[in-house]
Amino acid sequence: MRLHLGKKGLRVLGVAESFVREMSDRAALAGVVMRTDGVVDGFSLGFCRVGGMDSTENIIRMFRDLEREDINALMLNGCVISWFNVVDLSVLHESLGLPTMCVTYDASEGLKKYFEEYFPNDWERRYSVYQRNGARARVKLRTGYQVFLRCFGAELEEGLGLLNRFTIHGKIPEPIRLSKSLAHCFFRTFSTARWESHCLQNNKNGEQDA
């Protein structure tokens, strides 16, 4: 699918995650469908494993669960999420047929040493996917802030144009900002529910032992 920046009803799916390693082995994924006029007309929720390698397939599942044919691009809040669960950007682009943008915000000296340290058994696989995602390009938003951008299925200039259409202030595009907020809420909700269920089960076990 071509990215037509002048399209009045342009829609993107922004995806972000939320997790706390000490609380759960699952991270919450959230997707928000937003039009360029700021109207939100879709949501999708999912999970991936903290420290796993299943983020790509679960983002694809979230998109397909929407059953939408009017989404024009995918916008991700990073490609190394949920404690080194590496998103394969080329697989996302090819599987969904959508221009795919990955936005990050901070400079980095590289992640190879962390892959090697934390995942000695499969660091090469993770690092290989990370390398396939390619180098980031530093771009300046119309708000004056600089971010780092990777684009698949679109030229860098087109990707920057898309970010500018969805960034009202600061450096976080609105679909990503809202999906981050939704993911945090979703994570708190299911983590609280799991904790309450765990406590209830412990109480029942204690009553049986009494």
Residues in contact with 191: Cβ distance below 8 Å, sequence separation at least 6, in sequence order: 20, 23, 24
What domains, with CATH codes, occur in the chain?
11-209 (3.30.2170.10)
Q: How many residues does the chain have?
A: 210
Contacts of 128 (CB under 8 A, 6+ apart): none
Half-sphere exposure of 58 (CA within 13 A, CB side): 24
Q: Is the pLDDT of residue 21 over 50?
A: yes
pLDDT score for 6: 72
Nearest to 98 by CA among 176, 29, 148, 159: 159
- Region 26-41: what's the mean pLDDT? 96
pTM (2 decimals)?
Answer: 0.89
Rg of the chain over Cα atoms, rounded to whole angstroms, equals 19
Each residue's pLDDT tens digit, 128-160: 999 999 999 999 999 999 999 999 999 999 999
